[in-house]
Amino acid sequence: MKNVVALIATAALAAQGASAHYIFHQTLAKGTAKGVPYEPVFPDLRCNVGGATGGNTSTLELNAGDPFTFTLDTAVYHQGPISLYLSKAPGTAAEYDGSGDWFKINDWAPVFNGGQASWTMKDTYSYTVPKCIANGEYLLRIQSLAIHNPGSTPQWYVGCGQIKVSGGGSGSPSPTVKIPGAFKATDPGYTANIYNNFHSYTVPGPSVFTC
């Protein structure tokens, strides 16, 4: 299959390394479904490191501004934020270990209304490649941070892909972070109790970069 997206990570529980409850198993780009091999990211939480790389992976070619959609095998059913990150590879995405700088391009955070919080828990998550980022190859990361069990270590569900961006600009994404390192156990969004006095929420990690 040509242009098979390298969505090479399934969900992994960061603390226990247990089997996943749901996985990011497919992506849609330009209306065409792409096949997906898998790679658990435990224990590093970093794309292309700490898991067994799936077979038949390749890099998906996209233009800056193009839409893409991650799909799951079942809808997300644990409360918590969903975030998207990009990291520019120094060479090819396939050879990149994800140790460079990462920047966030979107958060699906809770919406508060009438004293209640609602989370975006779906089986598809769509967004677009930022129009201003530089041409080149990137790792594209989606992560679900499940905080449905206060007092216990949150669960991480991560999917990663390899993309090659054309038609971009000269933007310098900021702020940037390292993964691991971007998320700390002391982050309010990491330790939040969603069942008690829950009226606001800050998604862990950096602020979202916009062009």
Domains contained in the chain, CATH given: 24-191 (2.70.50.70)
**CB neighbours (10 Å) of residue 122?**
14
Total-model pTM: 0.83
Interval 14-37 mean pLDDT: 48
Interval 38-55 mean pLDDT: 53
Interval 2-31 mean pLDDT: 42
Who has greater pLDDT, 152 or 204?
204
Average pLDDT, the chain: 80
Who has greater pLDDT, 82 or 3?
82
pLDDT of residue 154: 86
Whole-angstrom distance, CA of residue 154 vs CA of residue 135 = 35
Q: End-to-end CA distance of the chain, in Å?
A: 33
Who has greater pLDDT, 17 or 211?
211
pLDDT of residue 10: 32
pLDDT of residue 44: 60
Q: Is the alpha carbon torsion for 185, 186, 187, 189 positive or negative? A: positive
Whole-angstrom distance, CA of residue 136 vs CA of residue 77 = 35
Share of the chain above pLDDT 90, in %: 49
Q: What is the pLDDT of residues 179-195, one digit of tens each?
A: 989 988 889 999 899 99
Whole-angstrom distance, CA of residue 100 vs CA of residue 143 = 18
SS3 208: strand
pLDDT of residue 73: 82
